[in-house]
Every structure is written in structure tokens, then in C-alpha cells.
Amino acid sequence: MHSGDTTSPSRRDFLRGTAAGAAGAVLSQTLGCRSAPDDRPNLFVIVADDFGIDGVGCYGGEAFETPRIDALAASGVRFESCYATPLCTPSRVELLTGKYPFRTGWVANIDHRARRDSDGRSRVVDPALGTWAQRLRDAGYRTAVAGKWQLCHFEEHPDHVAECGFDRSCCWAWTVDGKALNRYWHPALRRDGETIPRLEGAFGPDVCCAWLLDFVASSRGRPWLAYHPMILPHKPYVRPPETLPPGRTFDRRKDADPANFPALVRHLDTIVGRVVDALERTGERERTWIVFLGDNGTPAEVATRFRGRDLRGGKGSLSEVGTRVPLIVSRPGVAAPGRVIADPVDLSDLFPTLLELAGVDIPPGLDGVSLAPSLRGDGGVARSWAYSQLGVSQALREGDWKWYSDRRLFDLAGDPFEETNRYDDPAAAEVLRAFERTARGLG
């Protein structure tokens, strides 16, 4: 090692591995340069962690700065009423499988403590459920994921990411020996099957984004899928690099505070901008679909302001602030710029949408419907309602109305913050009967 090199061994090894992976991919592209070019579009899917529509300026959020996300929406299509589940794991399962929680069995978060399957191992999301990454990889796409996985415990299921369809990975390691590890400063990462327990001095979100952009750069000439389930802005609410004095990192004992949430949102927004800028620099932007969405509502300990009203986040609740998330899709020259779609959609729709955009056959048995025609401006959404679930509780949105299985009904047109329960209102009886028929049909 050069005497002036102050990089820690784990950081050197990580960066060396990243460079080697990129070099190998470039070599494979060079050796295969005689083949015909593949002009299928690229797919870059970004999922913000714990971030509802109340956090985004173009949706009416007033508490945080999101200029790059807002610009992405202006360049493409914004879905006004997209519904997720109100927790991280079931949202990710629905997103990846195109199936509702009651079909997959994932109605709550994966447990990092003592929950076990019959074989004694920790629970894992079954790759046999099928994912869009598997379908795209089988169709010739290079596939990679970087960020927060949280669908298995890597110690007991080391090949899970690959089994779910991703060739390459750089994810927060989550736990080692049952102990939760850092996701932000000095992060623990699981990169292509190798665990790095502590990447000294690094900021996890920046490392994951840079790694994924390296993957994109090494994939020129072949269609690729880049999946970025972000670490941001989930707790612990740390201070990101731009808010700290030069050379200082985060001290969890002193610095973790929900008051840092706005700074984490700004950093999230900056990373979205990095992705867009990198694609523009490399000439890949016009052939890439960028999808940005949230996995559930903002946490309850975070104060927000939305359309003139002060709110608390609703994560963990089927309420509007718990399940309604941003969904923005952009591709220059293809996605209808500035279009806003009010029709309700949900996370199950991403599976068929991504496959249709890539020209890959959509398998039967999905709950989602493709939004691709709407993205191209060819009409409205081919569904009339959207669904969300937490445990045994259910919620349905159709038109301006929202129904809950615990005997609540709201007219969101005049009551967007769900303050007047219309369940026993005779004037809403027919609306209620229609929802109950839909709910019975789901079973």
C-alpha cells in the first residue's frame, strides 16, 4: 500500500471489488461487440423508504425541498392516487411479485428476531412467487439491486437476491448474528455475496447509488434493470454529509433526531438528481424509463405540511397518509410530459407495467394491470379501484371513495383527510354495497 493511502482495508477491498466488477462487465461487452445492438429500453426503479406524497412538492407537500423529484414529474407522468401497504416488507413483496399480501402471505414486516419457518431458519420471501427481475433477466436484461433489501436474512439465505432475479447486488447487510448494523454512516453492506461489516467513513446511500451507477455504466450496449430500493429517509434520522463539518461523520448517540428528516429528504432528492444527470451524461436518458415511488407513508414521528395542513406521518396505518405514495414515471420522448393521472393504482401494477415497457410477456395470475398505455398517453388506467392491506385489515379506493374493512367509508372529494365516516350514511348505501361486492370478489 502507498504510504499516503489512508483508505481503510474494508473500504479499499469494497472499491477494488466494485472496479473489478465494472471492468469485467466492460470486457464482456467488448468481447460480444459483434452481436447486433439491443435497442430495448432500460429500466431504473427507485423506491424511497418511508416517504408518502405529503413529502413531495409536486403533490402538494410543503415541508421539504424536492426540486429534482418535481422536475422528474414534470418530464413524465405523475400518478395522483397510488397506494402501497403501510409497511416496508409487504410493500416490497407486492411491488416485486405483482400480487396482493393475502395471496403471498406477507401482510406484515419480516421479523429480524425469532420468527422461524418449520426448518428452523428465519422467514424468507419465496422466490417461487415470481418477480419482474426474474422475467427480465430471463429475457436478456442485465439486472442489479442496490440499497435496502429486507426480504431475507443474508446469513441464512445468502443467495436470495440472485434467486429473486438480480445478477448483481450491493445492499445494506441489515443484521449479523442477530444484531442490526449501520445503514447510514460506516454502513454494513452485502455486495455480490460478500459481507462488509463496516465501511469506515462512508455514507451508505451514496455508496449504493454510486455502485448502481457503475453497474449502469458497465452495461452499455445491453438492456439493463437497475433497482434502487433506497435506504433514505428511514430512521435513524442521521445528519447527511452536506450538513456536517468537513471530516466529521455521524455520532448516533448525539445526532439522531427526527428534526434531521428534512435534510435526509434533500439528500434523497439529490440522489434522484444524480441518477438523472448520470444517464444524461452517458446518453442513456432517452432510452431509459425512470420510475420513482415510495413504499409507504411518512413515519408518525415526522411532522409534515401538506396542501395547507399540518400533519403527522401515517406509516403503519391504512389511512391516506399511511398508504398513499408518490409514483412518477419518466422517459423523454415517450412518456407524456406533465401528465397527471387521478385514477387509483397500486404497487401490484408495477410488475406488468415494467414487463410491457420492456416488451416481455406478462405472466398470468397477477393482481396488477399494466400502466404502460397511460404512460404513452393512450388512455386512462385499466382498473377502477386500488387495494391496500395490513394484517387482516383491508382498504379499497374507487373513484373519490375509500372503504375500510373495519366499517369506515370516506368521500375523499370533500373529505381528503378522512374526518367524516360515511359508513352508516343512507346516502352512501349504494357506494358501500359496491365496495363490499369488490371485497368479496378479492377473496
Fold of 42-391: Alkaline Phosphatase, subunit A (3.40.720)
* Predicted local confidence at residue 99, as pLDDT: 98
**Cα angle 192-197-203, degrees, rounded to a multiple of 5:** 85
Categorize the per-residue pLDDT at 252 as very low, low, confident or very high, splitting at 50, 70 and 90: low
CA distance 32 to 201: 38
Distances (CA, A) of 355 to 78, 366, 384: 19, 12, 21
Q: Are 304 and 63 in contact (CB under 8 A)?
A: yes
* Predicted local confidence at residue 30, as pLDDT: 37
Q: Give percent of the chain with pLDDT exceeding 70.
A: 88
Closest CA to 396 of 310, 297, 323: 323
CA distance 123 to 356: 32
* Predicted local confidence at residue 443, as pLDDT: 67
Tell me the residue ranges of DSSP E strands in 257-384: 288-294, 303-306, 309-312, 324-330, 339-341, 345-346
Q: Which pTM value belongs to this model?
A: 0.90
Q: Give percent of the chain with pLDDT exceeding 90.
A: 79
Q: Which regions of the chain carry the CATH code 3.40.720.10? A: 42-391
Closest CA to 346 of 254, 442, 282, 216: 442
Instruction: Look at the block and give the residue holding cell 395471496.
Output: 103
The per-residue pLDDT for range 37-52, each reduced to its tens digit, is 688 999 999 999 999 9
The per-residue pLDDT for range 286-308, each reduced to its tens digit, is 999 999 999 999 999 999 999 99
CA distance 29 to 208: 23
